[in-house]
Amino acid sequence: MEKILRAFLPHGDLASLAPLGEGIINTTFSVRDEDGKRYVLQKVNTNVFPDPFAVMDNTVSVTDWMRKRLAEEGKCSDRCVPLFLQTTEGGYLYQGEDGGYWRCSKLIEGATAHVHVTDPKLLYHAGKGYGEFVRLTDGFPASSLAEVLPNFHNTKKRFEAFLEAVEKDAAGRAREVDREIQYLKEREELAGSIVAMLESGKLPLRVTHNDTKLSNVLLDDETGEAVCVIDLDTVMPGTVLYDFGDAIRSGAASAAEDEPKLDRMNFVSENCKAFKEGFVEACGGILIPAEVDNLMLGARVIVYEQAMRFLTDYLNGDTYYKTLFPGHNLIRARTQIRLFSQIPE
C-alpha cells in the first residue's frame, strides 16, 4: 500500500489509511497526509470494468470539460468536480504488484454521501446536483465516450436476454414465477420505447452518469445543498431519461429493493416531485420538450428494466448479482414490479 500511495503522493509523510464508504464494486480507502490533506485511494474492479483505462479516459475527459465550464462562468470547481491525481509517471492509473489498477483523487471535505434519504428537501437538492451535472456536460461530444458497459441501459436487449432466460430455464424456476414472467412480457412495448426515441433522434445523445443513486451525489454537511456528483465509472453516452429514472428508482421508493414485505414498497410521489423540481431547475432550460415530457417514462422504463434484470438472474440461477439468501433475486424482482405498478404513466 505504501508503494501504491507513493505513486500518487511521492512527498511528505502519510498519517493514516482507512476504509471508506459502502460501495460494493471498487475497494476504497481514505488517506490523510501529515498536513491534514485527505485523498481517496481506490482499486478499480476489473471484473466489472475490464478496461480501466477507458473508464479513466471517460472520467478525466468529462471532469476536465466540467471544470472548464465552471471557469468560464467564474466559479471555483474545487468542491464541485472530482479531481484525480496523476502518478509520478504521468498517468491516472497505477498497476500494483498483484496486477490490479489503482487511482487517487482529492477527498471533498464537508460533504456526505447519504445512502438513505427520506427528506424531500434533501431530495430536491440531490435533484439539483444531478441536474447541474447535466447542465455542465451539455455540449460535450457524448459519442466520443467509450461504452465501458455496452448496452447497459438498452432495455430492448435486456428484454431479449429475459426471454432467453425464460426459454432456457437453466435453474428450473420458470414455473414458480410464471405470474411475474407474464407481467413483464405484457409490457414489452416499454422495452424499446426510449431506445427508439434515441435512434430516431427525438432524444439528444448526452453524457449520462448511469448510476444516479442518491449516495452518488455529495450533500453539504451544513446546508444540505448538492456539492458534487461522484463515482463516474459508468459515464457513457445515453439519454437524460436514464439518469432521471434511475434516481427516482431509489429516491422515490419507500423501502429497500430487497424488502421481503411487498406492502412496504411504495412509490412516494412527494419525493419524486421534489427530486424532479430540483433536477429540472438545475438543468437551466437546456432540456428539450421531448426530454421534459418523458422524464416519468424514464422512471417507468428503468424500474421495469431492473425488475427484468433481477428476474433474469433468478431464472439463470443467480449468476450475476450477489445474493445473501435463497430467493434474494426474486424478492428484488417483486419489489421492482410493485414499485413499477405505482409509478404514474
| 80 and 222 inside one domain | no
Question: Mind listing the pLDDT tens digit for each residue in 239-252?
Answer: 999 999 999 999 99
Q: Is the pLDDT assigned to residue 111 strictly greater than 80? A: yes
| 79 and 165 inside one domain | no
What counts of helices (H) and strands (E) characterise the chain? Answer: 12, 10
CA distance 74 to 70: 6
CA distance 65 to 73: 13
Domain boundary among 43, 78, 107: 107
| 124 and 103 inside one domain | no
Mean pLDDT of the 285-309 span: 97
| 74 and 193 inside one domain | no
Mean pLDDT of the 66-75 span: 96
Question: Mind listing the pLDDT tens digit for each residue in 190-228?
Answer: 999 999 999 999 999 999 999 999 889 999 999 999 999
Mean pLDDT of the 262-280 span: 97
Question: Mind listing the pLDDT tens digit for each residue in 77-94?
Answer: 889 999 999 999 999 999
In this prediction, residue 309 has a pLDDT band, given cuts at 50, 70 and 90, of very high
* pLDDT value, residue 25: 62
* pLDDT value, residue 259: 95
For a pLDDT cut of 90, what percent of the chain falls above it? 80
* pLDDT value, residue 155: 96
N- to C-terminal Cα separation, the chain: 51
Contact 84, 103 (CB under 8 A): yes
Which residues contact residue 145 at a Cβ distance below 8 angstroms, ignoring those fewer than 6 apart? Answer: 58, 61, 62, 207, 235, 236, 237
Q: Is residue 148 part of a domain?
A: yes
Q: Is residue 114 part of a domain?
A: no
* pLDDT value, residue 37: 87
Short-list 234, 232, 233, 243, CA closest to 294: 243
| 72 and 144 inside one domain | no
- State the average pLDDT for the chain: 93
| 154 and 64 inside one domain | no
| 195 and 336 inside one domain | yes
Nearest 5°: phi and psi at 253? -95, 135
In this prediction, residue 47 has a pLDDT band, given cuts at 50, 70 and 90, of confident
| 237 and 204 inside one domain | yes
Q: Is residue 322 part of a domain?
A: yes
CATH number at residue 254: 3.90.1200.10
Q: How many domains, in total, are found in the chain?
A: 2
Cell of 162: 429475459
* pLDDT value, residue 345: 83
* pLDDT value, residue 282: 97
| 240 and 137 inside one domain | yes
CA distance 113 to 214: 7
* pLDDT value, residue 65: 97
* pLDDT value, residue 114: 86
Mean pLDDT of the 296-309 span: 97
Nearest 5°: phi and psi at 306? -70, -35
* pLDDT value, residue 18: 80
When mean pLDDT is compared across 96-105, 113-122, 323-332, the lowest value belongs to 113-122
Q: Is the pLDDT assigned to residue 12 strictly greater than 90? A: no
In this prediction, residue 23 has a pLDDT band, given cuts at 50, 70 and 90, of low
Contact 239, 290 (CB under 8 A): no
Nearest 5°: phi and psi at 14? -100, 125
| 102 and 158 inside one domain | no
Q: Which domain holds residue 35?
A: 2-107
CA distance 343 to 268: 9
Q: Is the pLDDT assigned to residue 116 strictly greater than 80? A: no
For a pLDDT cut of 70, what percent of the chain falls above it? 98
* pLDDT value, residue 11: 80
In this prediction, residue 24 has a pLDDT band, given cuts at 50, 70 and 90, of low
| 89 and 150 inside one domain | no
Q: Is residue 77 part of a domain?
A: yes
Q: Is the pLDDT assigned to residue 176 strictly greater than 80? A: yes
The single residue listed with the C-alpha cell 445473501 is 324
Task: State the virtual CA torsion across 242, 244, 247, 248 in degrees, nearest 10.
Answer: -110
Domain boundary among 68, 84, 107: 107
| 8 and 153 inside one domain | no
Mean pLDDT of the 168-188 span: 97
